[in-house]
Structure 1
Amino acid sequence: MFRRGSLPEGGSKGRPRILTYSAGKGGPDGKDPNQVRLDAARRCTRQIQRVPIMTHEWFHLVDNIEHLYRLASLESLMPHVETMKEAENGSRAVGRASEGTLWDQDIREDVIRIMVEEAKVNLCLRLLHEFKQLQNRPDEMDRHIDRACDKEGMPKSTVLSRMAAFEEALGLLLRQGFTHVETLQLTDVPLIARHIELVLRNANKRPLDCDASADPEPQRFREDSSTSSSASLSGKPVQFVSTKGSSSELKLDGHRRGSDERRGSGLKIKAWDIEGQNGTQRPLRLQETVVLAYFHSVAQHIEKLNEAEVVSVLCDCGLLELVPNHIVANCATYPSEMRALALEAVSLLCASEEFQARWKESFTKEGGTGRKAAFLALEPLAKDILLQKPDMKTSLRCLRDFIAKLKRH
């Protein structure tokens, strides 16, 4: 059943109460706990609206998004649908696939499914994009923060922590949603590309080894002890781990391609980041890192999108240079799983037939020298990853072949 958890101190008024999951067929009021969870998720999703930033309505929006994030984290602790059906009926669940869509897979991602059904994914992406645009205008952002402190009666540290919660929670919800091709097919992919461009072009404005939140209370958004296995929004830098059999896995090979090179390596990264290893790692929940996962999802599913348009917009946004340069600049701060994901993303793009057909145009016109240098700089990183993960040889083959081709031209 669900029980009500205590609210973190310092939250704004009207924060939705947190529901935590425990096994059981019904709550004290006899309601189905799964239905309670679904109703809460749909209610929060429907309340996502475009509102002026740093207003009372915006802080309420942050509360709803953070609550959705917690509900999605909670889903990762729940048993697979197939497991529950087998326990109830003694037989395999019919119509459920381990690598199906949001509607027929055997893991629970109801929050993402509801966001898609309520047509909120594009809105969430635009909200995050506009937030990052404002964040890159520090003088204007400072005025918004000061105004919020005055009107809402919040200390600056609380405003900063709400900003961090907005970026982290919404960014990770989108990251999980984009692992599904059906989500991408309903999303403005050119806006994803422009968002990645915006973030990477301004990445050097953000320290590589500090916490995004600037929150003096680093445990501010941690769940209570009953949900300590789920994600923290502003604790330590997260740890990417390889896991099996959990519904919280972010599967990089969820949608198979026609050849091994297109499948992805089969890396699994915890979708709801849990713990950090040390305080010197780059915070992996920042958009400056999470956009690499967005890029991976677009590259992985590119054949099921408008491939020609996607490759064109990726080139026009300068991502052929920005992404490799960002990987090289920050590889020392990333754990091996994150480096592997980033390199695999570039390799998946290299495997695209449309990319193969037009790469000469992009690498020979103005700026081509910089793009070529950016790709060549990935070669030692790829060799290093293969020493650590020999099973990734197939998934990085297209990148290595393309680098060899660049050397010949």
Structure 2
Amino acid sequence: MAGRYINEDTVESERPLKVCAEAGRKCVRNIHQYPVLSAEWISLVDSLKQLSRLVQLEGRMPANPKVLETQGRDRDSSGTLWDQEAHENAIRILVEEAKVNLCLRMMYDYKKWQYNAAERQATMDEATKAYESTESTLEQKCVQFEECLGTLLRKAFVHVETLQLMDIPLLIEHCAYILQSCFSMESPGDARLQETVILYYFGSLMRHAEALNNSELLARSRDVQLVELAVGHYLRFADQFPEELKHSLADGLSAMADNEDFQTEWEYFFPSPDAKSNFLLLEEKLTTPILQEKPDKRREIRPLLDFFNTIKRSL
């Protein structure tokens, strides 16, 4: 009898998750590429908002300890999207439905549209007439699109199994494009926009590089000067970035410094003494503040701290 009640409690506690998963899958299947500010695109924003809310809801749920009992699970790891303790149904479904590459392409195309002032204004003018709407209302839709889609991508890229299915050259191209486009900006803006979130993407790329096509990833990153771009962007706006991003960036750079392929060719990533000197500024602007707040983080970012010394010896 007691066992029956326990089972009923378990089923009852899992019911909201099943409802969320069903709603999430429906939203994910609504994701298609449409022209920016078309009627279909505006409807898509609502699906992305719902998915983003689901991600936030799942983030507040307590971890599921039962997955630790899963047969064959590596108890020393934090698990994959399919057997981790954290609830990330929305992200898992995004991967299962093979929508992550599409989401990245949508974001890349959206940002190219946004940065093209003439095209953007022409689309805005056309949409305000077509929908008898105001430009500020449509601007809000654009912000919602970027924030929600950016959050989904950021959460997805945390997982190596997502990146293993990604068009990595496109992701590198997107990162470089955003970082280059920020040269003329005075601020990265809201922390949920690509001008900030892009550093999370960069951190995830570097953190998981060795589990991907490492040599190609590093070669492409070197060709577009991705490390220089990311470091320069961070240094320029360091005071405006959230603490979570700083830790993510430090982890990514530490993994990069610990990457065996990177270690053999690291000087190619720094073609000038200025590039090396800029990277060393991270010691003051990134790692020192982190270690002052969390001294026990030193062990995690030891490869990055050692790499600072390697660069100093080369100057």
TM-score range with shorter-chain normalisation? 0.7 to 0.9
Which residue of the partner structure matches residue 399 of structure 1? 304
Q: Determine if the alignment matches structure 1 residue 173 to structure 2 residue 152.
A: yes
SS at match of 1:79: coil
Give aligned-pair identity as a percent. Answer: 38
Does 2:112 match 1:117?
Answer: no
Q: Is the 8 A contact 2:64 2:85 kept in 1?
A: yes
Preserved CA contact (<8 Å) 2:182 2:188: no
Q: How far, CA to CA, are the matches of 1:159 and 1:139 in structure 2? A: 16
Q: Is the 8 A contact 1:25 1:33 kept in 2?
A: no
2:261 to 333, 350, 354: 354
Aligned-partner Cα distance in 2 for 1:57–1:205: 32
Q: How big is the shift at 1:394?
A: 2.1
Structure 1 residues 335 and 115 mapped into 2: Cα distance closer, same or farther (>3 Å)? closer
The C-alpha deviation readout for 1:159-210, integer Å capped at 9, x for no partner, is: 0111001110000111111111100100111211111111111124444275
Q: Could you tell me which residue of structure 2 aligns to residue 195 of structure 1?
A: 174
Q: Deviations over 1:224-250 (max 9, x none)?
A: xxxxxxxxxxxxxxxxxxxxxxxxxxx
CA contact (8 A) 2:29 2:97 kept: yes
Distance 1:308 1:35 in 2: 41
- Note if 1:42 corresponds to 2:20: no
C-alpha displacement of 1:74: 1.7
The normalised TM-score by structure 2 is 0.88
Higher helix share: 2
Q: Deviations over 1:50-96 (max 9, x none)?
A: 1111110111111111111112222223333336x9xxxxxx75347
Within 2, Cα distance between the matches of 1:377 and 1:150? 50
Aligned ranges for residues 127-138 of structure 1 at < 5 Å? Answer: 127-138=106-117
Aligned to 1:89: none
Q: 1: CA distance between counterparts of 2:123 and 2:95? A: 31
C-alpha displacement of 1:155: 1.3
1:163 maps to: 142
Q: 1:389 aligns with which of 275, 280, 294?
A: 294
Where does residue 87 of structure 2 map in the other structure? 108
Aligned AA for 2:70?
Answer: V
Gaps (5+ residues) in structure 1? 1-22, 86-91, 211-282
Are residue 307 (structure 1) and residue 283 (structure 2) matched? no
SS in 1 for 2:151: helix
Asked whether the equivalents of residues 175 and 294 of structure 1 are also in contact (C-alpha less than 8 Å), the reply is: yes
CA distance in 2, matches of 1:120, 1:154: 30
What amino acid sits opposite 1:376 in the alignment?
L
How much does 1:134 deviate? Answer: 1.1
Q: How far does residue 345 in structure 1 lie from its aligned partner after superposition?
A: 2.0
Residues in 2 aligned to 1:178 and 1:335: alpha-carbon distance in whole angstroms = 18
Q: Is the 8 A contact 2:191 2:242 kept in 1?
A: no
* Residues 306, 50 of structure 1: alpha-carbon distance in 2 compared, 3 angstrom cutoff: same
For residues 375 and 25 of structure 1, the distance between their equivalents in structure 2, rounded to whole angstroms, comes to: 52
Structure-to-structure mapping, 1:261-340, within 5 angstroms: 283-340=190-247
- One-letter code of the match for 2:65? E
Three-state SS of the structure 2 residue aligned to 1:44 is helix
One-letter identity of the residue aligned with 2:38: T
Work out the CA distance in 2 between the residues paired with 1:300 and 1:73: 24
What displacement does 1:361 show? 2.9
The gaps in structure 2 that reach 5 residues or longer are 1-8
Checking the alignment, whether the CA contact within 8 Å between 1:116 and 1:183 is kept in structure 2 is yes
**Is 1:76 aligned to 2:76, yes or no?**
no
Evaluate the alpha carbon distance shift between residue 383 and residue 37 of structure 1 in structure 2; reply closer, same or farther with a 3 A threshold.
closer
Deviates more, 1:174-183 or 1:199-208: 199-208
For residues 325-374 of structure 1, the C-alpha deviation after alignment (integer angstroms, 9 at most, x for no partner) is 1111111223444323323322221111111111123334xxx3442232
Query: How far off is 1:154 after superposition?
Result: 1.8
Paired with 2:244 and 2:18, the residues of 1 have a C-alpha distance of 36
The whole-number CA distance in structure 1 between the counterparts of 2:188 and 2:101 is: 30
SS in 2 for 1:99: coil
RMSD over equivalenced CA pairs, Å: 2.4
**Equivalent residue for 2:70?**
94
